[in-house]
Structure 1
Amino acid sequence: MRSTAGTGPALTVTGRLATITLRKPAAINAIGPEEIDAVTAALRAAVADASVATILIRGEGERGFSAGGDIKRVRTMIASGEVDALAEFWANEYRLNHLIDTCPKPVVSIAHGLTLGGGVGLASHASHRIVTDSTRLGMPEVLIGLSPDIGGLWLYSRAPGRTGAFAALTAAHLSAGDALYMGLADHYVPHGEIDDVVERLQYLHPAEALEGFDAQPPSWVADHRGAIDRVFGANSVLEILESARLLEEKSAVAEIAMASLAAASPTALCVTYEALCRAANMHGLTECLDQDLRVGQHCARHPDLTEGIRARVVDKDRKPNWCPPTLADVSPVDVERFFAPIGKPLRFSDW
C-alpha cells in the first residue's frame, strides 16, 4: 500500500485501487480551495499511475461524505472584497467536476451521510456512484441566497418529471432511494457491505465489484411523483407557490413547497428556476458549469448570499432579511442580470 502524508485529502493505492479520502470529518469534510487543489492533484496522480485501474473517492467520518463548500469562508472572502479569488476557487472546483466526469479510468464514489452542494459535485459526476443507508444528498443553496452549482442543475434537469425542480427549489435532502430514482446514483450498498465492496475494487473492475447491488430502496420522491409534477410543473416560482396553495388535497408536497419557498431567498429561487430551465436544453455538463460560474459571480455581488450565510450558519437565527423580500418583487429583468457575462470565461483542461 502506498499513501500520501499530511492532513488534507489523502491518496492511497492498494492493489489496483487508488483511494482519495476527504479528511476533515469535524467539518463533515467541507471543501475549500486547498481541498479542491489537493483532490485535483490526487486524481491526476492516480490517472498517471499505470498500476491503478480504478479510483475511489470517499469521505472520512460517520457524519457524511462532504457537506459541500466552506460557506463561512465564502462569506469572509466576499466581505473582504475577494470576489475574484472566490470566482477562481469556484472555477477550479468546476474544472475538477469536469475531470471527474471525463476521467479515463473508472471513478467510484461513496456518498454516505450528508452529501451536499460541492459534495454532490465530487460524488455524482463519478462513473459509478454508490449510495447507502445513511445517504442524505442535496443542493441547499437557495437557503443561503445562492443558486445550485457544480453542475447540479445539469443532473436535476434530467431527473424524472419535475422532481429536479422540486429538489432544487426546496433544498430537499434526498435518500438513497430518491437519488437512485432521480438518476443521481447508480448502486445501493448497505452500510455493512461497504468494506467488502471496497476490498473487491482492489482487484475487480467496478462493474464486477458492484454486480448484484442494484436494489431500489424506498423513494419518497417516487411515491409522491404525481403531486410533485402537479405543483412544480408551473411556469414560475410564484406559480409553483400558488399551485401548492391550491392543491385540492393538501399533501406533504404542498406543505414542503410552501414552507421551503418561504424560507429561501426569493431572488435565488427565481434565478435557480431559470437556470434549471436553461440547463434542460444544454448539450453537456461543461455548458452548465460555465453557467454556474456566471450565476455564482453575480450571487457573490448580491446582498442575499452574505445575509443567507449569516442567518443560517453564522448567527443561526434563521431570520434572513432578503432583498427583495418577496417573490412578487423579483422581476424578469432582475433574473436576467444573473446570466450576463462577468469575469474571466471558464476554461476547462482535458485529460
Structure 2
Amino acid sequence: MTSQIIARSDDAVGHLTLDRPGALNALGYDMLGEIAGVLDAWRDDPTVRVVLLDGAGDRGFCAGGDVRELHASIVAGRQADARRYFRREYAVDAAIAESPVPVVSIMDGITMGGGVGLGAHAAVRVVTERSRVAMPETRIGFTPDVGGSWLLSRAPGRLGEHLALGAVTMDGADAVHAGLADHLVPTERLPLLRQDLVDLAAAGVDPVDPESVREVARRHAVEPPTSALLARQARVDRCYAAATVPEIVARLREAARAGDAAAGAEADELEALSPTAVTVALAAIRSARTLPDLRAGLEQEYRLVSWFVDTQPDLVEGIRAQVVDKDREPAWHPASLADVAPDLGARALAYVPTEPLWG
C-alpha cells in the first residue's frame, strides 16, 4: 500500500504531513492507521520534542473523513466497518489532544470535519488568511463529531448552535473567535514559523515547554481582522437560544421580517437540511456543554454516529446527493421539521453502540 502521509523526524521536530492532495487530504481508514502509528512512536521518542502537523498541496489541510468510503461500507451492509472507522478516528483525535509532545497544527486552506478533529485539538492551532474551517456534517444528513460538538459547545454565546446546525464556513478570524484556532499566521510567514519551531526543538531543552511553542506561534501571528461572526452575535444568541429547531427557524423568520436578510437565508438553509440531522446536532451541542472533557464529548459523538450508521437513512442519502451522484437533491426522511418526533434527540443520545469506543 502506498503511504498517504509523509512522516520524518529531524532536528528534534516530527514533521507529519497528510499526503492525499488530490482528495484534499481526506482521511481514509488506512491513512488514520498510519497517523496513529506515527503519533504512537513519537510519543515515546526522546528525539522528537515538537510535532508539526500539516497537509500536502496548496488547497487545504484536510477536507475531512473519506465519506465515499463510509458510504460504501453502509450501503454494503458493513456497519461494523463504519463504526470501526470512527473508533480509529476518535482515537487519533484523542492522541493529538493528549500528546505529551506539543503538537502544532497548520490548518491552511480547507479544514473541515475530520480535519478539524486533527487540527483543532492540537496544543497550538494555526490558521491563515486562506483557511476555510467548518463542521459541515448536517449537509450530508449527519451530526458534528471528531470532538467538534465539544469545541463548538464552548464557542461564545450561541455560536455553537449556529455553526453546527447551519454547517457555516468560517475564515481564519472566525475560527479564532469561535475557539477552533489560536493564532492567525500569514501564509508568507509559515516557513519562518516552521524554522523557528525547529530552532526551539533543537535547542536541547527537554521536555519542550508548550508555552515556549505558543510563544513561537505568537511571534509570527497577526491580529485577526474582526470576525464576521461578531456582527451577528446578538441575533444568533437571541434566535439560537430557542428550545427546538422549528422555534429557531421561527425566530430567524421574525428577524428577517424586521429587515435582517441574512436571518431569512439561515432559516431557508435550516429547512433545506436533513430535519433529523439538525435536530440531533442541536441536542448534541447542548448536551456537550454539560460534559467534563473531550473524551466524554467523543464518547457522546460515538453514540450519535453509531445511531446514524445503524438506523438512519439520511446519512447515506446525504452523501449520495452531495458527493456520489452530486445531484444536490437529497430526499430526507422525514422530509420536514414538523414530522420529527419530539424525543428524537434524546433517543439518539441514549443509543448504545454494539462495540465500545475505547477498548
**214 and 283 in structure 1: CA distance in 2 versus 1, 3 angstrom threshold:** farther
- Match of 1:58, SS state, is strand
**342 and 6 in structure 1: CA distance in 2 versus 1, 3 angstrom threshold:** closer
**Please, which of 208, 211, 218 is the counterpart of residue 226 of structure 2?**
218
- Match of 2:111, SS state, is strand
Matches of 1:214 and 1:199, distance apart in 2:
18
Deviations 1:37-62 (A, max 9, x none): 11111111222221111001100011
TM-score when normalising by structure 1: 0.95
**Please, which of 115, 118, 134 is the counterpart of residue 114 of structure 2?**
118
1:40-189 alignment runs, 5 A limit: 40-189=36-185
TM-superposed deviation, 1:302: 0.7
Matches of 1:94 and 1:304, distance apart in 2:
22
**Please, which of 288, 297, 303 is the counterpart of residue 294 of structure 1?**
303
Query: RMSD over aligned Cα, in angstroms?
Result: 1.4
Aligned to 2:188: 192
Instruction: Say if 2:279 and 2:344, in contact at 8 Å, map to a contact too.
Output: no
Matches of 1:207 and 1:270, distance apart in 2:
38
| Segments ≥4 residues shifted beyond 6 Å | none
Instruction: Say if 2:63 and 2:111, in contact at 8 Å, map to a contact too.
Output: yes
Instruction: Say if 1:266 and 1:322, in contact at 8 Å, map to a contact too.
Output: yes
Aligned to 1:273: 282
**Please, which of 213, 233, 245 is the counterpart of residue 206 of structure 1?**
213
Deviations 1:197-225 (A, max 9, x none): 01111122422321332512231112221
Matches of 1:73 and 1:6, distance apart in 2:
17
Deviations 1:134-189 (A, max 9, x none): 10111110111111100101000000001111000110111111111111111110
- After the TM superposition, which of the residue ranges 339-348 and 174-183 deviates more from structure 2? 339-348
The answer to whether the aligner puts 1:251 opposite 2:260 as a matched pair is yes
**Please, which of 266, 269, 279 is the counterpart of residue 260 of structure 1?**
269
**Please, which of 6, 13, 26 is the counterpart of residue 10 of structure 1?**
6
Matches of 1:53 and 1:233, distance apart in 2:
44
The answer to whether the aligner puts 1:282 opposite 2:278 as a matched pair is no
Matches of 2:101 and 2:67, distance apart in 1:
31
Aligned to 2:208: none
Deviations 1:216-265 (A, max 9, x none): 22311122211111221211111110001011533254134213212310
Aligned to 2:241: 233
State the one-letter code of the partner of 1:211.
R
Aligned to 2:353: 342
Instruction: Say if 1:245 and 1:254, in contact at 8 Å, map to a contact too.
Output: yes
**252 and 158 in structure 1: CA distance in 2 versus 1, 3 angstrom threshold:** farther
Matches of 1:245 and 1:255, distance apart in 2:
6
State the one-letter code of the partner of 2:312.
H
Structure 1: where are the runs of 5+ without partners? none
Instruction: Say if 2:183 and 2:218, in contact at 8 Å, map to a contact too.
Output: no
TM-superposed deviation, 1:118: 0.4
- After the TM superposition, which of the residue ranges 8-17 and 60-69 deviates more from structure 2? 8-17
Deviations 1:51-91 (A, max 9, x none): 11100110001110000011111110001111011101101
Matched residue count: 344
State the one-letter code of the partner of 2:246.
L
**252 and 139 in structure 1: CA distance in 2 versus 1, 3 angstrom threshold:** farther
TM-superposed deviation, 1:314: 1.2
Instruction: Say if 2:186 and 2:222, in contact at 8 Å, map to a contact too.
Output: no
Instruction: Say if 1:132 and 1:176, in contact at 8 Å, map to a contact too.
Output: yes
- Match of 1:261, SS state, is helix
The answer to whether the aligner puts 1:314 opposite 2:324 as a matched pair is yes
Matches of 2:152 and 2:63, distance apart in 1:
18
Aligned to 2:207: none
- Match of 1:56, SS state, is strand
Structure 2: where are the runs of 5+ without partners? 201-211
TM-superposed deviation, 1:6: 4.9
Matches of 1:292 and 1:226, distance apart in 2:
28
- Match of 2:218, SS state, is coil
TM-superposed deviation, 1:298: 1.1
State the one-letter code of the partner of 1:219.
S
- After the TM superposition, which of the residue ranges 69-78 and 331-340 deviates more from structure 2? 331-340
